[in-house]
Amino acid sequence: MENLLSYENWNEINEGGWSTAKTQGTALTPKVIKLIVDQIKIIDSEFNSHLRELELPSLDFSKPIGSGTWWQEDLKNEPNKTYGDVDFMVAYPTLKLTSGKEREDEIATVKLYNKELLMFLEADKIAGVDIEETKKVSTPDSIKLIIEVDIEGTPGWVQVDMVVTHKEYSEWAVFRMTPEKGIKDFVLGKLYSAFGETLELSIQPRGVRAKFIGDVMVPFSKRSGVEERLLTMDSKTFMSDIARFFWLQDEGSKGRDFIPSKSLEQWKGMDPSSPKFSDLCDGIKAVAETLEQLGEFGAILKYRSAKDFLSAVVKQYEKRMMEGYNSPKFKKADSPASIAVMNKTRDLIDKYIDLSKNLLK
């Protein structure tokens, strides 16, 4: 099965916006993000008019995500701030194009719409879009728009990565891809991933999901002969939903009430507009305490205790973060500026590994 670049791979440490040398001289400030948003609105209007003529459902060009989430606030308070790249969430419909599973229809729909968008941009020559450069750096799965902006009379070029979601889970996807303000995307993203992987679930932009063979849950990494099931897409209740899910897998839960731990009852969920690393850690701890209280460790889950489980989450988080620490791109750091970026990123990774050890114990 193919993977679209927009999902699990989106929050990797290797930020970019540099698929083409044409964009490398443009500082991505809040004002530039505003210019991009204005340009995307034009593409949104004209392309969706074209789709209506074809009697196809619309695309929803949603908003900048990642560090650009707060561009409007930054425009007022930090106008000289710069971002690493520009990622724009786009919600695609899901058309029934294959005889396979939902995921195959999603992938086929993305390819159909991306092909149509490139042909539309080439035919209509929308002002500000370099279609030839856009085609060079895009793939059937992933569109990277190369857009011209006027920065106080000086032309510049910006790469805008269209981050794919689908309309049925676009609200969750925006939440899941929103970082803590002022902190790199991967810091929070990799903790979601590590928590899910420790439970053998997926906690990604398509919701919290599990895989089954028949009625038996199997590791999410398993690919053949499995059925994928959505568990939840609620930013306020997903921790409680996860704990309840594992409790229901236990035959011994029949006839008993689901009683969450006090910490899980008190956990208010993640604020979709302002998620915090500490809030996610509190939620993970609350799930661990609930599963221990319900007697699920050693029964449904392989871990011996809440402490053992939390230690496994931290270990997996450290593994994921160290992949970024040792990223091959850092081998190319040979200028003072690139070495400074490498050191700053590595310091951030060290800081949050240590913080996870302190908060998840």
CATH code of 101's domain: 3.30.460.10
Please indicate, yes or no, whether residues 210 and 248 belong to a single structural domain of this protein: yes
pLDDT for the residue 193? 97
**Which portions of the chain are predicted below pLDDT 70?**
1-20
**What pLDDT sits at residue 10?**
44
Q: 175, 207, 225 — which closes off a domain?
A: 175
Domain shared by 85 and 137, yes or no = yes
Is 12 a member of any domain? no
User: In this structure, is residue 270 part of a structural domain?
Assistant: yes
Which pLDDT belongs to residue 124? 85
Q: Looking at the structure, do residues 83 and 225 belong to the same domain, yes or no?
A: no
Please state whether 200 falls in left (phi above 0), alpha (psi between -120 and 50) or beta: left
Q: What is the pLDDT of residues 65-92, one digit of tens each?
A: 988 999 999 999 999 998 888 999 999 9
**Same domain for 298 and 170?**
no
The verdict on 154 and 240 lying in the same domain is no
Q: What is the pLDDT of residue 18?
A: 52
pTM: 0.88
> How far apart are the C-alpha atoms of 75 and 99, rounded to whole Å?
47
**Domain co-membership, 134 together with 189:** no
Residue-level pLDDT at 232: 97
Write the CB contacts of 55 (distance below 8 Å, at least 6 apart in sequence).
Answer: none
Closest by CA position to 179, among listed 272, 61, 105: 272
pLDDT at 2: 46
In a domain, 10, yes or no: no
- The answer to the question of residue 295 being in a domain is yes
**Residue 30 and residue 157 in one domain:** yes
pLDDT score at 7: 42
Same domain, 62 and 143: yes
Taking the C-alpha atoms of residue 237 and residue 242, their distance in angstroms, rounded to an integer, is 9
Residue 3 belongs to a domain: no
What pLDDT, on a 0 to 100 scale, did the predictor assign at position 31?
Answer: 96
Domain-terminating residue out of 153, 175, 197 = 175
Q: Which of 175, 207, 227 is the last residue of a domain?
A: 175
Residues 56 and 92 occupy one common structural domain: yes
Q: What is the pLDDT of residue 135?
A: 95
Q: What per-residue confidence (pLDDT) applies to 334?
A: 79
Q: Please give the residue range of the domain that contains residue 133.
A: 21-175
| Domain presence at residue 208 | yes
* 261 close to 236: Cβ distance less than 8 angstroms: no
Let me know whether 219 and 331 are in one domain. yes
Q: How many domains does the chain have?
A: 2
Residue 5 has a pLDDT of 46
pLDDT at residue 19, rounded to an integer: 63
pLDDT in the model for residue 14: 43
pLDDT score, position 329: 81
